[in-house]
Amino acid sequence: MELYYTILNSKTIADFEINYRQVKKASLQLTGYLSRYWLNNHAQKLISCYTNRITHFGLTTTSKAEGAHRTIKD
């Protein structure tokens, strides 16, 4: 799991490529799984080097937004 989170937290595309190669060295089976089910379809939504291109003001979870929505709703 640590290698998976290392990929997710890649700050640049170059870091992502380096981290991906490290995972590939560690486990081809894990690399295949990640590519097939996560990276090929969802990399733009998961990996920091892509998600940080979108202005999100540091809000990376929905809990604060949902709390604000509840306050407005009540």
Q: Where are the domains of the chain?
A: 2-73
Q: Are 25 and 17 in contact (CB under 8 A)?
A: no
Give the whole-angstrom CA distance, residue 39 versus residue 20. Answer: 10
Q: Is the pTM of this model over 0.85?
A: no
Give the whole-angstrom CA distance, residue 59 versus residue 64. Answer: 8
Closest CA to 5 of 52, 14, 16, 13: 16
Q: What is the pLDDT of residues 8-56, one digit of tens each?
A: 888 998 999 999 999 999 988 988 988 898 888 888 888 888 877 777 6
Closest CA to 34 of 53, 19, 56: 19
